[in-house]
């Protein structure tokens, strides 16, 4: 039986949820069924060290220096596809989706575009938003054979809009639970002292508007607890100013990037994710595996993972008062925290990487079969 040649394309392997999923899948695919090539279209990134390159058919990396490089990068991608002659090209993120759409000519292979965030992120009356949606979302999807969503909520939103219905498919995110639990047990430097009388709150993510950290910091003005925030991004100066303005220096600590996030999640009491929108958040999945009490906003893929008051507490996005109230209530109920954590760990078992990898392999085989 012929091995299917996959070319998996992503912008880079910088630290991020989609990038983690990309590396996890690439390393897990059955090499008896698939010949796997990888292309990074803009940069390399820290997760490259986790990619098992010796298990790849070929590996390629381009470098984006300026915005206008988009056309030369598309040409490089087109040239690479011509040389490799893959059976399927699967692009994972909007920029790579666009590059591939630009690179497409007549083709003898099948194409898959990844949709990993809600279409609501493109909402707005401004012409810039509509232009971005047209070129990085609509146009690549129209030229693709299959549109693969990583969240049922995202899939349902597209279906509700009657958006290219014949092309839509779904495979959720997966997580290597055994590997995560091992990482959580690796001793590291904890930024707080473990004290049974003190509740430790933890949040993590890119310091960008999407993650809603300004609302979490506003909630902290109503609380006596300590919050530790892991991540870097363009909003760091804004968050630092907000901390100073509200005199939260003794309560809110920005930790920057940490390679020991699993350890920190395991040591914290409550994990909080106040996002405005999400695909299917990896960090929530990690907190579930580690049996943590979770408070998150009721958005997109988060709702697929957590049912309110069952595996965690969900609150409306952009609502500091609701966040503060949820934290106050859970702070006073240790039994509730334990119950939520246990149910979260029980539910996440169905998202183990081995099951998700099997789903991807099924999609690739079905896509190849209809050539």
Residues of the chain above pLDDT 90, percent: 72
Lowest mean pLDDT among 4-13, 145-154, 207-216, 281-290: 145-154
Tell whether 137 and 270 lie within a shared domain: no
pTM above 0.95? Answer: no
Q: Where residue 125 falls among pLDDT bands split at 50, 70, 90?
A: low
Tell whether 143 and 208 lie within a shared domain: no
pLDDT of residue 64: 86
Tell whether 230 and 157 lie within a shared domain: no
Tell whether 344 and 358 lie within a shared domain: no
Tell whether 152 and 189 lie within a shared domain: no
Tell whether 146 and 226 lie within a shared domain: no
Chain-centre distance for alpha carbon 84: 29
Q: Where residue 79 falls among pLDDT bands split at 50, 70, 90?
A: very high
pLDDT of 195 higher than 80 = no
Tell whether 168 and 186 lie within a shared domain: no
Average pLDDT over residues 70-88: 94
Domain count, the chain: 2
Average pLDDT over residues 314-343: 96
pLDDT of residue 106: 67
Tell whether 164 and 193 lie within a shared domain: no
Average pLDDT over residues 113-121: 82
The CATH number assigned to the domain holding 144 equals 3.40.50.2000
Q: Where residue 118 falls among pLDDT bands split at 50, 70, 90?
A: confident
Residue-number span of the structural domain to which 364 is assigned: 4-174+352-369
Q: Where residue 370 falls among pLDDT bands split at 50, 70, 90?
A: confident
Tell whether 168 and 253 lie within a shared domain: no
Average pLDDT over residues 166-190: 92
Tell whether 79 and 196 lie within a shared domain: no
Tell whether 39 and 168 lie within a shared domain: yes
Tell whether 242 and 303 lie within a shared domain: yes
pLDDT of 124 higher than 70 = no
Query: For residues 41 and 117, which has the higher predicted lDDT (pLDDT)?
Result: 41
What's the pLDDT tens digit per position in 231-275?
999 999 999 999 999 999 999 999 999 989 999 999 999 999 999
């Amino acid at each position: 039986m012929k091995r299917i040649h996959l070319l998996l394309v992503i912008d880079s392997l910088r630290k991020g949820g989609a990038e983690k999923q990309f590396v996890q899948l690439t390393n897990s695919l059955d090499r008896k069924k698939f010949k796997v090539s990888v292309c990074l279209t803009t940069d390399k990134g820290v997760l490259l060290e986790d990619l098992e390159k010796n298990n790849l058919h070929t590996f390629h990396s381009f470098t984006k220096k300026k915005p206008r490089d988009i056309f030369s990068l598309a040409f490089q991608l087109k040239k690479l596809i011509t040389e490799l002659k893959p059976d399927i090209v699967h692009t994972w993120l909007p920029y790579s989706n666009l590059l591939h759409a630009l690179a497409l000519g007549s083709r003898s292979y099948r194409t898959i575009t990844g949709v990993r965030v809600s279409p609501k992120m493109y909402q707005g009356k401004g012409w810039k938003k509509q232009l971005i949606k047209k070129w990085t979302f609509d146009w690549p999807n129209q030229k693709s054979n299959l549109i693969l969503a990583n969240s049922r909520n995202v899939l349902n939103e597209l279906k509700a809009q009657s958006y290219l219905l014949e092309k839509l498919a779904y495979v959720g995110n997966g997580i290597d639970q055994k590997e995560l639990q091992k990482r959580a047990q690796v001793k590291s430097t904890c930024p707080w002292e473990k004290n049974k009388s003190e509740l430790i709150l933890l949040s993590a993510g890119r310091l960008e508007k999407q993650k809603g950290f300004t609302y979490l910091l506003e909630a902290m003005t109503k609380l006596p607890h300590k919050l530790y925030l892991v991540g870097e991004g363009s909003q760091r100066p804004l968050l630092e100013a907000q901390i100073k303005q509200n005199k939260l220096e003794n309560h809110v600590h920005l930790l920057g990037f940490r390679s020991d996030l699993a350890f920190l999640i395991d040591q914290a009491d409550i994990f909080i994710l106040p996002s405005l929108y999400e695909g299917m958040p990896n960090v929530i999945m990690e907190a579930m595996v580690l049996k943590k009490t979770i408070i998150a906003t009721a958005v997109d893929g988060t709702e697929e993972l957590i049912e309110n008051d069952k595996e965690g507490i969900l609150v409306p996005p952009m609502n500091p008062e609701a966040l503060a109230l949820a934290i106050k209530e859970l702070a006073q109920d240790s039994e509730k925290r334990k119950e939520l954590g246990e149910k979260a760990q029980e539910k996440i078992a169905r998202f183990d990487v081995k099951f998700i990898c099997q789903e991807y392999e099924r999609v690739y085989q079905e896509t190849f079969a209809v050539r």
